[in-house]
């Protein structure tokens, strides 16, 4: 005698898809326009309508929060997006979030969310290097993969993720490294994992503090201080540094040459910054490696900080958040060593 065993189907994950614009919502005059196109033309409902297969993996509802290229993301937009996601994550009928985003600042927004959302539920930020109208557009598959990851149990507790080109990246590490290629997104230590035949596979975990282990909560932050970035170059004088100091910033990230080297012509202005109560963070314009304290410059003497391995534009995000609750240089330095 045989007995049929009926396996209960696992309920589909409930995903909120938030649209903010970007290339993934763009449209070109011709199918060969892969780099020249109108950005942020399509709304999130239009994009999802062209991806009916997504309904097979998740119950999806949409929200259109913004409709512009990500170069227009400022502090106010980061706060608005973060607070909306935080509100959604608290709901029992939401299992994960996907945000469609322009690629220009996708790594900054994702890192901000990585540090401020107090939830273990998956949050995935996704974009495209080619608009949906282009031949071989990466947008539809990137979005499908982002939904797959957000709907997966294995993506829980890993912080905010960026999905692109079949890869899953931690928001802490990922950086856009090319203006037009589809493999533009890289992490210095490699991706966390891949999506293979619609299945997310993880091979490593984020090592630094994030989300539920972070000291910052988006629910408690209503504004962030201004932090500027100064890009070093040969033959530089201190006029632009002093202009930045006069702009009202609370800190400057100095994207220095090499291992945080500061030209003699710039040192006095950065020393003056600390006398004025403005923090100075030495980083590197190289895009990789660790900036070491008291190596290229006497940081202890000048009361300067270093970025550790963070690229300047991500160091800015971290410094903005650190300054919301702290002004002690030693504790601010610890933030770069712990996050």
76 falls within a domain: yes
Task: Tell me: do 45 and 76 sit in the same domain.
Answer: yes
118 falls within a domain: yes
Q: Residue 38's pLDDT is what?
A: 86
Q: Residue 6's pLDDT is what?
A: 46
Q: Residue 238's pLDDT is what?
A: 93
The tokens for 96 are: 């994960």
- Please report, for the domain that includes residue 268, its CATH number: 3.40.50.40
8 falls within a domain: no
220 falls within a domain: no
What's the CA gap between 137 and 131, in Å, rounded?
6
What's the CA gap between 99 and 110, in Å, rounded?
9
Task: Tell me: do 193 and 308 sit in the same domain.
Answer: no
Residue 72 sits at the vertex; the CA angle it makes with 63 and 100, to the nearest 5 degrees, is 35
Task: Tell me: do 156 and 230 sit in the same domain.
Answer: no
Is 152 marked as binding a ligand? no
Give the residue from 162, 193, 213 where a domain finishes. Answer: 213
Residue numbers of the domain that contains 298: 225-338
Task: Tell me: do 21 and 127 sit in the same domain.
Answer: yes
What's the CA gap between 291 and 232, in Å, rounded?
15
Task: Tell me: do 234 and 333 sit in the same domain.
Answer: yes
- Please report, for the domain that includes residue 139, its CATH number: 3.40.50.1170
Task: Tell me: do 260 and 290 sit in the same domain.
Answer: yes
pLDDT tens across the length of the chain (339 residues): 444 444 456 689 999 999 999 999 999 898 888 888 888 999 999 999 999 999 999 999 999 999 999 999 999 999 999 999 999 999 999 999 999 999 999 999 999 999 999 999 999 999 999 999 899 999 999 999 999 999 999 999 999 999 999 999 999 999 999 999 999 999 999 999 999 999 999 999 999 999 999 999 999 999 999 999 999 999 999 999 999 999 999 999 999 999 999 999 999 999 999 999 999 999 999 999 999 999 989 999 999 999 999 999 999 999 999 999 989 999 999 999 999
Task: Tell me: do 60 and 188 sit in the same domain.
Answer: yes
Task: Tell me: do 190 and 273 sit in the same domain.
Answer: no
Residue 78 sits at the vertex; the CA angle it makes with 251 and 334, to the nearest 5 degrees, is 40
Task: Tell me: do 286 and 147 sit in the same domain.
Answer: no
Closest CA to 277 of 339, 318, 332, 336: 332
Task: Tell me: do 204 and 238 sit in the same domain.
Answer: no
Q: For the chain, what is the domain count?
A: 2
What's the CA gap between 270 and 298, in Å, rounded?
12
40: left (phi > 0), else alpha (psi -120 to 50), else beta? Answer: left
202 falls within a domain: yes
Task: Tell me: do 68 and 182 sit in the same domain.
Answer: yes
Give the residue from 170, 191, 213 where a domain finishes. Answer: 213
Is 219 marked as binding a ligand? no
1 falls within a domain: no
**Sheet of 199-202, strands arranged across:** 58-64, 13-19, 96-100, 123-126, 160-164, 167-170, 193-196, 199-202
Give the residue from 191, 213, 235 where a domain finishes. Answer: 213
2 falls within a domain: no
Is 103 marked as binding a ligand? yes
Task: Tell me: do 178 and 249 sit in the same domain.
Answer: no
Give catalytic residue positions. Answer: 23, 103
């Amino acid at each position: 005698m045989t007995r049929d065993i009926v396996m209960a189907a696992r309920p589909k994950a409930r995903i909120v898809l938030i649209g903010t614009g970007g290339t993934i919502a763009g449209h070109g005059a011709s199918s060969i326009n892969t780099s020249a196109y109108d950005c942020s033309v399509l709304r999130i409902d239009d994009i999802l309508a062209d991806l009916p297969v997504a309904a097979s993996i998740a119950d999806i509802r949409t929200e259109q929060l913004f409709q512009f290229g990500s170069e227009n993301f400022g502090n106010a937009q980061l706060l608005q997006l973060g607070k909306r996601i935080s509100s959604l994550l608290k709901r029992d009928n939401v299992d994960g979030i996907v945000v469609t985003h322009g690629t220009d600042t996708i790594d900054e927004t994702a890192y901000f969310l990585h540090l401020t959302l107090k939830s273990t539920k998956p949050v995935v930020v996704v974009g495209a290097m080619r608009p949906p109208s282009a031949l071989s557009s990466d947008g539809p598959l990137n979005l499908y993969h982002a939904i797959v990851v957000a709907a997966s149990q294995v993506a829980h507790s890993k912080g905010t993720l960026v999905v692109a080109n079949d890869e899953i990246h931690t928001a802490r590490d990922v950086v856009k490294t090319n203006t037009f290629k589809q493999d533009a997104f890289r992490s210095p230590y490699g991706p966390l994992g891949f999506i293979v035949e619609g299945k997310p596979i993880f091979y490593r975990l984020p090592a630094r503090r994030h989300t539920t282990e972070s000291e910052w909560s988006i629910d408690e932050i209503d504004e962030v201080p201004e932090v500027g970035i100064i890009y070093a170059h040969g033959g530089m004088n201190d006029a632009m540094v002093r202009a930045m100091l006069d702009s009202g910033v609370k800190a400057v990230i100095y994207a220095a040459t090499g291992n945080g080297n500061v030209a003699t012509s710039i040192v006095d202005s950065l020393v003056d910054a600390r006398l004025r109560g403005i923090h100075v963070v030495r980083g590197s314009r190289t895009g990789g490696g660790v900036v070491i304290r008291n190596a290229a410059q006497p940081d202890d003497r000048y009361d300067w900080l270093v970025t550790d391995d963070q690229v300047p534009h991500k160091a800015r995000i971290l410094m903005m958040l650190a300054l919301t609750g702290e002004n002690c240089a030693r504790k601010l330095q610890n933030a770069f060593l712990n996050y």
